[in-house]
Amino acid sequence: MLIDSFGRHITYLRISVTQRCNFRCLYCMPKIPFDYVPKEELLSFEEMFVFVKELIDRGVKKIRISGGEPLLRKDLSVFIKMIKTYKNDIDLALTSNGFLLKDYAKELKNAGLERINISLDTLDSKKAKKLAQKDVLSSVLAGIEEAISCGFKVKLNTVALKGLNDDELISLLEFAKNKKMQIRFIEFMENIHAYGALRGLKKDEIIKLLSQKYTISLIKKDEFAPVSLYSANGYEFGIIDPHSDAFCKSCNRIRLSAEGLLIPCLYHEDALSIKEAMRSKDIEKALQILVKVLENKPEKNEWKLNDNQISKRAFYQTGG
């Protein structure tokens, strides 16, 4: 079993397979150039898999693959099939912007992927172009439809932003509801890589806007994630509050970046690299590093909103 210094059992691994993205979203990486990280700087899928197997053997039950945009990483379905072949009942999910999903959904399904979270911040093509700095909406919507037709369980992720999509939250909720998907509104995560003029909506503000049409009631707070589930006249949706440390006491996750960094907490910089160990096929060394990472995992996040704290973390590198 994987247990940190506060007695929490680690059963959830998030893997960022690439920091590359084909969007330049204002809330994430608007000024980062369209660069290419040389393949030799990344862990190969084979190297990742050797380490992932060790974590599965030690109790990891859930894996989420993210980026950047994970579908930009060649042979992603091969990696997914490796994991599912090793442990068929692993809870395996993907987070994507949906732009390439129309072309890859069937391949991913055949490889064993079960669930996909897709970013959808607006249903207005002009707003989508402004947010992503690219004409994306029609491709994203096509990706959503293809994922549904392939039988995926689909959730939508929406970053709630003042003056950009705050007038669409009801429409977005109804879009998801009509397609029998769950939507999750996400509070904007302040970070130094984002467009500085952005202002996000907080949980109470999101609820107030939705309450203009729906009766909103709390269903439950997820014990292992920063999401609260609500009912809008019987339809279940979520709000993710990353500023809260309410779920930290039961946090069950660690992260692995494409370049081999093991990250104990999204809000901390205390990451250690397993790349050298995996390149030299020294799995024992990698496991020793894992032990140190678990020891470094903080009791709770250090995001103090009242102090106007802005994260230095590049979320596109860690799957934030």
Compute the C-alpha angle 138/139/143, nearest 5°.
Answer: 120
Name the token pair of 18. Answer: 């690439």
311 is in an annotated binding site: no
253 has binding-site annotation:
yes
Q: How far apart are CA 136 and CA 100, in angstroms?
A: 10
Q: Is 150 annotated as a binding residue?
A: no
To the nearest 10°, the Cα dihedral for 162, 167, 169, 175? -140
Whether 95 has a binding-site annotation, put simply, is yes
Residue 279 tokens, joined: 């390149």
Q: Is 206 annotated as a binding residue?
A: no
Q: Is 73 annotated as a binding residue?
A: no
CA distance 283 to 293: 15
Contacts for 180 with CB less than 8 Å, ≥ 6 apart: none
* Residue 251 marked as a ligand binder: yes
39 assigned to a ligand binding site = no
* Residue 155 labeled ligand binder: yes
- DSSP letters of 75-109? THHHHHHHHHHH-TT-EEEEEE-STTHHHHHHHHH
248 among annotated binding-site residues: yes
- Is position 254 annotated in a ligand binding site? yes
For tokens 């029609």, the residue is 138
Q: Torsion-angle region of residue 260: left (phi > 0), alpha (psi -120 to 50) or beta? A: left
CA distance 63 to 257: 13
Residue 24 annotated as binding site: no
Tell whether 119 is in a known binding site: yes
Q: Which parts are annotated binding residues for S-adenosyl-L-methionine?
A: 27, 68, 119, 189
Q: Which parts are annotated binding residues for GTP?
A: 14, 64, 95, 155, 253-255
Q: Which parts are annotated binding residues for [4Fe-4S] cluster?
A: 21, 25, 28, 248, 251, 265
Q: Which parts are annotated binding residues?
A: 14, 21, 25, 27-28, 64, 68, 95, 119, 155, 189, 248, 251, 253-255, 265
